[in-house]
């Protein structure tokens, strides 16, 4: 079997993303959880590049790795500042949950399998076209996403700092 560059990229990205996700799910250390999540989110950006969406990949790095991951780090630092060292993460219901997770995966794979026949050779949309469609056909969605972000920010401030002194 001859490997081309696309295959190598595919298997490399698969290995990195699954390793990151497995670390985040199975580790008992809070910092390793954050690190695994970071590896996973960066590999998702790599997957977007693999599928030809360079703009979405950059947005993934900015929004997730630059935003959400830092947010989670702040939350961990805020919550566990007083105790001696970081606490151990624990899990439970391992077997039942594994059955549910594998069941869902098998269900989706078997239902999608027969409809997917092959991969399109085309590359993803040009960045300028994405901008045009966000301000054209998807303008209502774009505005709604903006309002949602504003509402989420205001809600976060109100929930965390809302107490009167």
Partner 1 sequence: MNFIVVTMVLFSLALYGVLTRRDIVGVLASIEMMLGSATLLFVGLSRTTTVATTITPDPTHTGAIALILMVTAAAGAAVGLALLVALARKTARTRTDEITEVKG
CB 29 within 8 A of CB 88: yes
Instruction: Name which of 5 and 112 has its Cβ closer to partner 1.
Output: 112
Considering the complex, what minimum distance in angstroms separates the CB of residue 112 from partner 1?
Answer: 5
- d(CA 105, CA 107) in angstroms, rounded, equals 5
**141 sits near partner 1 (criterion: CB under 8 A):** yes
User: Which residues 145-164 are close enough to bind partner 1 by CB under 8 A?
Assistant: 145, 148-149, 151-153, 155-157, 159-160
Per-residue interface string for the shown chain with partner 1, residues 92-131, x marking contact by CB under 8 A: xxx-xxx-xxx-xx--xx--xxxxxxxxx-xxxxx--xx-
**79 sits near partner 1 (criterion: CB under 8 A):** yes
The whole-angstrom distance between residue 93's C-alpha and the CA centroid of its chain comes to 24
Considering the complex, what minimum distance in angstroms separates the CB of residue 72 from partner 1?
Answer: 6
- DSSP structure string for 51-72: TT-HHHHHHHIIIIIIIIHHHH
Among 9, 90, 164, 165, binds partner 1 (CB under 8 A): 90
Say which DSSP state 78 is in.
H
* Distance spanning both ends of the chain, measured CA to CA: 70
């Amino acid at each position: 079997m001859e490997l081309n560059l696309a295959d190598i990229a595919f298997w490399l990205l698969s290995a990195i993303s699954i390793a990151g996700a497995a670390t985040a799910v199975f580790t008992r250390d809070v910092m390793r959880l954050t690190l695994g999540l970071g590896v996973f989110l960066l590999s998702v950006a790599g997957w977007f590049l693999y599928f030809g969406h360079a703009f979405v990949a950059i947005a993934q790095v900015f929004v997730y790795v630059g935003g959400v991951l830092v947010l989670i780090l702040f939350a961990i630092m805020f919550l566990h500042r007083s105790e001696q060292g970081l606490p151990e993460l624990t899990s439970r219901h391992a077997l039942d949950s594994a059955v549910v997770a594998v069941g869902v995966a098998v269900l989706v794979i078997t239902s999608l399998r027969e409809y997917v026949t092959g991969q399109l050779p085309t590359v993803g949309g040009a960045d300028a076209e994405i901008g045009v469609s966000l301000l054209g056909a998807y303008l209502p969605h774009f505005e709604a996403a903006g309002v949602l972000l504003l509402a989420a920010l205001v809600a976060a401030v109100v929930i965390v700092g809302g107490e009167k002194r």
